[in-house]
Amino acid sequence: MAEQRGAQRAEPRTNGKRRTLSRAALSLGLLSSIGSLGGCDALSGAFKLGPDDSPSGPQAAAADESAGQQELLPDGTQRTSPPKQAADPEATTDREADETAEANAETRLASAEADEPVTADVKSGKRCPPGMALIQGRFCIDRWEASLETASGEAHSPYQSVGAEKLKATTGKGNVPQGYISMNEAGAACQRSGKRLCSTAEWLDACAGSSKRPLRSYPYGNEEQADACNADQPGSPTMVLHHGRHKTDSYWMNDPRINQLGGTVAPTGSFDQCVSPEGVYDLVGNLLEWTQGDRPLLMGGYYLDSHENGDGCRYVTMRHGADYHDYSTGFRCCAAPTAAEADAAPAEPAAEKPPAPVAVEPAPPPAPVASAPEAVAAAPQAQEGPRDPAGKRSFEHPGAPLPDVGQRAGYSTAEDACPADMVLVEGERCTLPIQECKYWVDDPGMPNRSCGEFEPSVCKGAKQAMRYCIDRYEFTPPGYTYPIVNVSWGEAQLMCGKLGKRLCYEAEWEFACEGPEALPYPYGYKRNGEACNHDRPDLFTSRGKLNDQRVPGDSLNECKSPFGVYNIIGNVDEWTTRGGGGRRSVLRGGWWLKGRNRCRAATGSHGENYAGAQTGFRCCQAAR
């Protein structure tokens, strides 16, 4: 599965209609093409199912008849059916089964919209346990993606990994489904609940509607409906900050706590149009779903993408092993239906399990406004509720629209070199300072990276004359209290341009931070996490809640460079532009955790489209 949201690809159409894939092509193409270069994406390793180019008419009928004799199922098993014989009143042929399934799908549409699932077959007497739907009278499948609970019935937080605890699967409407689970863990959880992990063929039957040929491309029909399922969200929760050595250095993308961000996983059943005729929800989008076959497969797409590796029910990711897990991997369970007594009463609709309680960390008392250095350490605490304006790009909502940038600031006097919201940076920059560390403040046994105090800098290179303007504060849009985050390098360029400015060049940012003396920190030679907003605790609270520790851009009076630039290290990482070819997008200054929080440190591993909970910026322009 690609770690980033894939770009949506053009949809093939014929006569204005979406082209559908036959189940024969699905069955044969999915497994027989595995291992061939034409069947796999060279980058993601995910198999892409193409459109249906199969012949029609007598040739197609002959092909179907031949395929019916020896069929390769999507789960990798091979099934050999007997030669076609005369109709048997006691048996149902494959074609009749398809027709029955199609008729059943049509008659169930209205009841599914009314949330009345198919849980029993009156003719055969087969029925499913509560919370499951009966598919073609053959098997039961969970109506909702699975959550986890302990053996005593206590809910397991979906924002925590599974670990060694023996958890069992549960299903119900309104629960946050479990991500960060492997196929092996999912299978064990299903078994502990008296079920099993669904086979790939069963999952496709539930989503596409037939054991032979798909009746639909999406759980609700052939044509994709915008916003019907929780898929193709506009933003990405990618927050790989640093490949660091400490737990405070990195927030890995492979973490279930990402799903607390807005625009990610939704409680089950939240998208009421994303439902099959039998009443099965979220088969497309929300979380990828593990299925069991001769190899592990992840089906259906997830909240960022339902097209990159196939469309809707045809979305297949096949490169991961049975022990793989990340924030997007989920599951649901299947089971065999039970036979009811001949005189048993008709099955009641399955009772919905109430949403599992989610532990919410109590709100801390309001943090004081940091007006003095001693107040700084306590100021950035975890907050209940959003800290940024609703409906705009924020810490909680990385995919929301960008805010308005406001009006361009004017000049206070005709003689001023810079607008009122900027400061003048003028002087000679040392191109090669020597900065020797007196002592390090890293954890014992770890390689040195964070220097506690430096010796005075010694310039060993040429000096470069510089004169330009730089924003006094990190960019904070109108209506915001804290600097904006979750912006990419390109978005930062765009917003600076709207104000008649540009993103700072790396050398400009560096000189504005260190001044003519080439200070390692804007406030001097000794590291002080209370002067600037850095060296803070973990990105998460003890209960796994994302911990936003930004402070207002003008709140720390001691965090000021020799030119009067505030918060240029710590608080939020700042995008800059590196010249000379190669990657242009470079982050400078570090953020509120312990890391690259000095004037000469840089993070150059992120591309121009990367945006994280720590990425902000400030602008520069020429002085007049």
Tell whether 574 and 444 lie within a shared domain. Answer: yes
The conformation of residue 488, written as its DSSP 8-state character, comes to: -
What's the whole-number mean pLDDT along residues 22-44? Answer: 27
- Over pLDDT 90: what percentage of the chain? 48
**How are beta strands 288-291 and 329-330 bridged, if at all?**
parallel
Of 278, 305, 339, the domain-final residue: 339
For residue 248, the 8-state DSSP code is: T
Q: Are residues 159 and 33 in the same domain?
A: yes
Across the chain, mean pLDDT equals 75
- The reported pLDDT for the residue numbered 119 is 79
Of the pLDDT bands very low, low, confident and very high (cuts 50, 70, 90), residue 260 is confident
Mean pLDDT over 430-450 rounds to: 80
- 185 and 61 within one domain: yes
Question: Which tops the pLDDT comparison, 203 or 250?
Answer: 203
Residue 562 has pLDDT above 90, yes or no: yes
* Structure tokens belonging to residue 622: 């020429």
Domain check: are 334 and 393 in the same one? no
Q: What is the CATH number of the domain that holds 190?
A: 3.90.1580
Question: Is pLDDT of 24 > 50?
Answer: no
Q: What is the pLDDT, as a whole number, of residue 52?
A: 29
pLDDT at residue 544 in the model = 59
Confidence band for 527, pLDDT divided at 50, 70 and 90: very high
Helical pair 58-69 and 23-32, crossing angle rounded to 10 deg: 50
Transcribe 497-521 into DSSP letters.
HHTT-EEPBHHHHHHHHHTTTT-SB
Report the range of poorest mean pLDDT among 32-46, 193-207, 547-561. Answer: 32-46
Residue showing tokens 């406004």:
369
69 in a domain, yes or no? yes
Average pLDDT value for residue range 340-364: 43
Position 597 pLDDT exceeds 70 = yes
Three-state SS at 191? helix
Q: What's the rounded Cα separation, in Å, for the pair 331 and 322?
A: 13
pLDDT at 237: 52
Which residue has better confidence, 47 or 173?
Answer: 173
Decide the pairing of beta strands 615-616 and 573-577: parallel
Instruction: Among 15-29, 238-252, 493-507, name the one with the lowest average pLDDT.
Output: 15-29
- Helix 23-32 vs helix 200-208: angle between axes, to the nearest 10 degrees? 150
Q: Is residue 355 a part of any domain in this protein?
A: no
Q: Which of 47, 593, 546, 595 is nearest to 293 (CA)?
A: 47
Confidence label for 365 from pLDDT (cuts 50, 70 and 90): very low
On the question of pLDDT at 129 being above 60, the answer is yes
Name the domain boundary from 339, 372, 399: 339
Are the C-beta atoms of 74 and 28 separated by less than 8 Å? Answer: no
> 226-230, 316-320, 521-525: lowest mean pLDDT where?
316-320
Do 277 and 199 fall within a single domain? yes
Is residue 276 predicted with pLDDT exceeding 90? yes
Q: Which of 16-30, 300-314, 323-337, 339-353 has the lowest mean pLDDT?
A: 16-30
Residue with the larger pLDDT of the pair 462 and 356 = 462
Position 12 scores a pLDDT of 31
Mean pLDDT of 9-20: 30
For position 247, what pLDDT does the model report?
41
Residues 137, 78 within the same domain: yes
Q: Per the domain annotation, does 449 fall within a domain?
A: yes
The CATH number covering residue 481 comes to 3.90.1580.10
In this predicted model, what pLDDT tens digit does every residue of 76-122 receive, in sequence order?
A: 444 434 343 333 333 333 444 444 444 343 333 333 333 567 778 77
* Amino acid identity at 172: G
Task: Look at residue 594 and tell me if it is in a domain.
Answer: yes
The count of domains in the chain is 2
Q: What is the pLDDT of residue 256?
A: 72
Least confident stretch, 268-272, 280-284, 610-614: 610-614
pLDDT at 321: 87
Domain termination site, one of 282, 308, 339: 339
Residues 300 and 420 in one domain: no
Residues 6+ apart with CB under 8 A from 31: 72, 73, 74, 76, 294
Better-scored residue on pLDDT, 559 or 595: 559
Count of all residues that appear for the chain in the document: 624
Whether 335 and 390 map to the same domain: the answer is no
Bridge partners for 299 per DSSP: 289, 316
Q: Is the pLDDT of residue 128 over 60?
A: yes
Element (H, E) at 140: strand 139-142
Q: Check if the beta carbon of residue 587 is closer than 8 Å to that of residue 544.
A: no
My answer on whether 436 and 314 are in the same domain is no
The residue that leads in pLDDT, 18 or 182, is 182
Q: Which of 224-238, 410-424, 441-455 has the lowest mean pLDDT?
A: 441-455
Q: pTM score > 0.85 for this model?
A: no
Instruction: Give the phi and the psi of residue 256 in degrees, each rounded to 5.
Output: -70, -20
Please tell me whether residues 328 and 400 are part of one structural domain. no
Residues 326, 424 within the same domain: no
Q: pLDDT at residue 248 above 90? A: no
Q: Which domain holds residue 484?
A: 385-624
Q: Is the pLDDT of residue 383 over 80?
A: no
Q: What is the distance between the alpha carbons of residues 344 and 133, in angstroms, rounded to a whole number?
A: 19
pLDDT tens-digit series, residues 186-200: 999 999 999 999 999
The contacts of residue 248 (CB under 8 Å, 6+ apart) are: 536, 537, 538, 539, 593, 594, 595
441 pLDDT higher than 90: no
Judged against a pLDDT cut of 90, whether residue 182 lies above it is answered with yes
Residue 103 covered by a domain: yes
* Over residues 248-266, mean pLDDT: 68
User: What is the reported pLDDT for 233?
Assistant: 85
* pLDDT of amino acid 308: 82
pLDDT band, residue 125 (cuts 50/70/90): confident
**371 within some domain:** no
Do 282 and 407 reside in the same domain of the chain?
no
Query: Chain-centre distance of CA 258, in angstroms?
Result: 7
Kindly report which listed range (288-302, 356-370, 501-515, 519-533) carries the lowest average pLDDT score. 356-370
The answer to the question of residue 423 being in a domain is yes
**Does residue 379 lie in a domain region?**
no
